[in-house]
Structure 1
Amino acid sequence: MELNQLSFFIEAGDPRVREIGDGLSYKANLFDSNNNISGTKDITLVFTKELKNGDFIASVVETVHLPGGDIFLQGAINVNDFEALKTQKIDIIGGSGIYEGVKGKEYITQLNSDVFDVASISLAIH
């Protein structure tokens, strides 16, 4: 699946500087391999920690809306690694409808370092 997003930025302070408390919230369309919309995704992330090397860790909460129900995800990503096109993992913590009780991981990789709104995702559900 790929996603395409509409973003809303959250600024904790100076908009020219990335800092703890900054983040974004967005709604994305999910596309299958035939470029058909297969669902939507609501995502909120907030920068919660700055590492000694300058990387930022963000808390992430997501809901994936698919036919038959929703999948809920929660975790943290290294924003700098994500922007460097490195795959990030987020925990699947449950669901509703046919996805009730699911667990697993979401693997998400930004596809272009200059375009934040296009990524490849896969859900490993068990």
Structure 2
Amino acid sequence: MFMLTAHLCATSRLPSGSTLKREVGSMRYQNSVMTTHFHDGSASQEEPCAVIVQGNTLVVEYKRDNGYSSYRGTQDGDVYKLRFHPETPGFKGEATLSLPEGGFMDGDWSESGAVTNAGTWEIELRE
């Protein structure tokens, strides 16, 4: 299931255990809010996340019960094409997000494995 839960620091430092690295020249939005909508009609979820944009690369990181997870990918035209990270046998996660506009990004996602889910998501970018 696409359960996105996170507790990320409100300071400029990355949370303990985070897999994100500090890199010069990147845009960090560590206090962003991700809203996930499900095609099956399940209630939408709103949770914190961290977003890093560096060049044409995008990382969206959030915390699950078993630690940090992320979607990572690169820009392809006017969207980012992302894959779930870390790769896990028997599980596939793919997503798209639009380029940032007015402090927001949106797109589609799908996950398949023991359970298959799909929907849309929006991220409000907050530093």
Return the structure number with greater helix share. 1
TM-score normalised by structure 1 residue count: 0.46
User: Which protein is richer in strand relative to its size?
Assistant: 1
Higher relative contact order structure (alpha carbons within 8 Å, sequence separation ≥ 6): 2
Q: Which protein has the larger Cα radius of gyration, Structure 1 or Structure 2?
A: 1
After TM superposition, the score normalised by the length of structure 2 is 0.46
